[in-house]
Structure 1
Amino acid sequence: MLAQDTLKHFRLFCDPFVDDVRSAEDVFMTNEYRYVLASMRHAAQAQGIVAVVADSGAGKTTMRRMLMDELRRDGKTTVIMPSIIDKTRITAAGLCEAIIADISDENPKRSLEAKARQVERLLRDASRSGQKHVMVIEEAHDLTIPTLRYLKRFWELEDGFTKLLGIVLIGQTELGLKLQEHRNSQARELIRRCITVDLRPLDDDLESYLNYKLERVGSSLPKVIEPQAVEAIRQRLRRKDKGQVVSDLYPLAINNLVVRALNAAAELGDERVTTEIVKHV
């Protein structure tokens, strides 16, 4: 976090990089992020299947919150979220119980067959009254292949031509690997129907991102960070992996590096973050 002395030094009334997202207006949206959010929204409202894949700290949870906020305000789509922490332990019965708990006051039936019929009835009745449903699963990279196969069966629930359940999977890069058919042909039925979208790094939007965050707290990028230092931040968050340049310019990594640089600049008494500071924090 930014030290109190750092906030005073740069005349910031609050930390723009830690616990900074309190509403949709606080979220910096690139065209990439808008596309991802639109893909999630379409899966929820048109009852499709989408997987959002990105490294830790890329903003996946923020996108999920944006989606849920939109759906809550719209009121036409109910979100179902299995709450089990260990996603490797999710079963078909557990998914049924999550659906029943989130869309009704009924107690789950005992047998899996009875639970499945109960789920189909509840979703069908709600659909006929105009209500849509989407199941959102975070940490979906931990899902087992059998569970992915179960999800396809849930997605197949329908009332005539009307699908009864959309599915949004949110996970780290391992989820993208798991959804490659040549790796997991057993789950090909879901994989072939699932649209995978990636949250890419903010390489081309770094300056805009930093300025947006700082303007939200009454400052601006030129007042706090030198132009050359911004490029230094970009280079610090790139690395080589097997001969390829890999970018880690995701919001969390950017925030952490900039916070360290601001604290260091304040300690040194510098008016702005310099290239040398970025290189050494």
Structure 2
Amino acid sequence: MSQGSLAQIINHDEWPRTTERDVITSQIKAFVFAHGGHNGHIRNLFKEESDVAPSAKTNATPEDRPSTNEKESADMLLRKHTLTADARRKFKIARDPFTDEMTCDADVFLSDDIRYVRATIRQTAKHGGMLAVIGESGAGKSTLRQDLIEWINVNHEPITVIEPYVLGLEDNDAKGKMLKSIDISASIITTIDPNAKPKRGGEARGHQMHDLLKASAQTGRRHVLIIEEAHGLPIPTLKHLKRFFELQDGFKKLLSIVLIGQTELGWKLSESNPEVREVVQRCETITLPPLDNHVEAYLRHKFARVDVNFDSLFDASAVNEIRHRLRHAEAEGGKGNRAVKTTSLCYPLAVNNLVAGAMNEAVKIGAPRITGELIAAAVRA
């Protein structure tokens, strides 16, 4: 794109007609992430300054219309509501259904979408491949990682899980700690042989890692490298993952790779980003969708796990209000061609926070059940 075309976008919101706007925005975001940017840098990059055109508002369905509490709804992903002791006592809940509630695989809610993602992760770990699992904060990514490890342990699957430490992981050393290929090699070495000391030289360490993987594979073991918070990986490390994935003993692949990260990972692995094209061609990408029409089933499952009857606790209006409050509507498109785009924030963590807040509000006013009005009050709390 020429500087003149870019100036027209920035200064006058006039976009080239020869290229779809979505293509241009994808390329810009990929460029930003490829040069050390993160989601905070692009959060409002393409947000319209004015309201939705009247025609767009008129044609929108009630669910699609921008909510007066848009910002509050969006913030529900970030705000933590803890179920109070008074709320647990009032509703006769012995164990908090939303905090540290995952104790076994039966606690994991499975919609058809989540069941497919779980099966794909297991197949990658067992049979090989490179997979990127992408989801918003609170979408259930960590739960699926824990579920994979539980499945391996319970079923005695011959799979060695390798998880480099990602505390403070960022894609440049100015913001935190970069995870480099040499760190991944060390993690593989010490996981397979805890008594081994990783060699210092890069080539020597590479041979050491490869030899250990081959020896372990010859005993029938599979190996899966899991990197959580993978959206914080620097581009060079993402590129190097291709080399790890290609480690073989004859025709046999020695290492499966599962990357778990927020939406920034999707931009870093964009087909528009030429720096990572070799990884993109080998990596399957799967996105965890919001709960949306599964909200009621999700809540029924959560409360059944703590022996509480959903129908006795929730009014019919509550579920619809949860979906409404966790929808974020905004205008998109250029001048004269604007429409309303609705983004769902209906992820497990957001639903948990909203319902816990509503239950706490119910205690304050002595309400016997959770209604739509209490859900709305929890947003304002």
| CA distance in 1 between partners of 2:166 and 2:103 (Å) | 25
Counterpart of 2:217 in structure 1 is 127
Stretches (4+) displaced over 6 A: none
**How far does residue 263 in structure 1 lie from its aligned partner after superposition?**
0.8
| CA distance in 1 between partners of 2:307 and 2:168 (Å) | 41
Structure 2 residue identity aligned to 1:128: Q
Deviations 1:144-186 (A, max 9, x none): 111011111011000111000000000000101111121x212
Match for residue 168 of structure 2 among 86, 111, 123: 86
**Structure 2 residue 143 is matched with structure 1 residue 48:** no
Structure 1 gap ranges (5+): none
Match for residue 244 of structure 1 among 322, 337, 341: 341
Counterpart of 1:101 in structure 2 is 190
Normalising by structure 2, we get a TM-score of 0.72
| Structure with greater proportional helix content | 1
Counterpart of 1:8 in structure 2 is 89
Secondary structure in structure 1 of the residue aligned to 2:223: strand
**Structure 2 residue 289 is matched with structure 1 residue 206:** no
Deviations 1:66-103 (A, max 9, x none): 01111223230000011142333111211110100111
Secondary structure in structure 1 of the residue aligned to 2:367: coil
Structure 2 gap ranges (5+): 1-81, 172-177, 332-339
Question: What is the 5 A alignment of 1:222-261?
Answer: 222-242=311-331, 243-261=340-358
**How far does residue 223 in structure 1 lie from its aligned partner after superposition?**
0.9
**Structure 2 residue 367 is matched with structure 1 residue 270:** yes
> Conserved in 1, the CA contact under 8 Å of 2:166 and 2:228?
no
User: What do you get for the CA RMSD once the two structures are aligned?
Assistant: 1.1
**How far does residue 234 in structure 1 lie from its aligned partner after superposition?**
1.0
Structure 2 residue identity aligned to 1:81: E
| CA distance in 2 between partners of 1:58 and 1:19 (Å) | 16
Secondary structure in structure 1 of the residue aligned to 2:257: strand
**How far does residue 135 in structure 1 lie from its aligned partner after superposition?**
0.3
Counterpart of 1:219 in structure 2 is 308
Structure 2 residue identity aligned to 1:255: N
80-89 or 31-40, larger mean C-alpha shift: 80-89
**Structure 2 residue 219 is matched with structure 1 residue 138:** no
Question: What is the 5 A alignment of 1:157-236?
Answer: 157-182=247-272, 184-236=273-325
Counterpart of 2:207 in structure 1 is 117
| CA distance in 1 between partners of 2:306 and 2:126 (Å) | 35
Normalising by structure 1, we get a TM-score of 0.97
Distance 1:69 1:113, change over 3 A: same
Structure 2 residue identity aligned to 1:53: I
| CA distance in 1 between partners of 2:329 and 2:362 (Å) | 28
46-55 or 68-77, larger mean C-alpha shift: 68-77
Structure 2 residue identity aligned to 1:93: I
| CA distance in 2 between partners of 1:102 and 1:25 (Å) | 28
**How far does residue 200 in structure 1 lie from its aligned partner after superposition?**
0.5
| CA distance in 1 between partners of 2:279 and 2:187 (Å) | 20
Secondary structure in structure 1 of the residue aligned to 2:259: strand
Secondary structure in structure 2 of the residue aligned to 1:28: coil
Counterpart of 1:23 in structure 2 is 104
**How far does residue 230 in structure 1 lie from its aligned partner after superposition?**
1.2
**How far does residue 116 in structure 1 lie from its aligned partner after superposition?**
0.4
> Conserved in 1, the CA contact under 8 Å of 2:361 and 2:377?
no
Structure 2 residue identity aligned to 1:152: K
> Conserved in 1, the CA contact under 8 Å of 2:132 and 2:284?
yes
Secondary structure in structure 2 of the residue aligned to 1:190: helix
Counterpart of 1:147 in structure 2 is 237
- The structure with the larger Rg is 2
